[in-house]
Amino acid sequence: MALGFIAKDPESKEDHCPSVWVDEETSDIVVQGWWADAATVEECKRVGSIPDTEGVVRLPARMVEALRRACDVADGSAVR
């Protein structure tokens, strides 16, 4: 598997900051974010269950542009 790096949170001061990649084989979007708090998880569960193989993460709003770029790469409308 090869991940194409899109961006890190530009305001994060730590090594472990929110980041976005695109899987170069499947075009899946991969995100690293902060674990959501219990209240957020419970709100998400109002729509459906969260299996043990899934999780809820939170990205700061300032990462919206990175997500847009990742979507463009994933759907082929941007140059990798």
Each residue of 4-55: pLDDT tens digit? 999 999 888 777 789 999 999 999 999 999 999 999 999 999 999 999 999 9
Specify if 11 maps to a domain: yes
Specify if 31 maps to a domain: yes
Element (H, E) at 38: helix 38-44
pLDDT band for position 79 (cuts 50, 70, 90): low
End-to-end CA distance of the chain: 16
Q: How many domains does the chain have?
A: 1
Specify if 39 maps to a domain: yes
Which of 32, 58, 53 lies closest to 43 in space, CA to CA? 58
Q: For residue 15, give its domain range.
A: 3-74
Contact 5, 12 (CB under 8 A): no
Return the residue matching tokens 């674990």.
35
Specify if 57 maps to a domain: yes
Specify if 80 maps to a domain: no
Quote the pTM value: 0.84
| Mean pLDDT within 59-76 | 94
Specify if 66 maps to a domain: yes
48 CB neighbour count, 10 Å cutoff: 7
The confidence score (pLDDT) of residue 78 equals 66
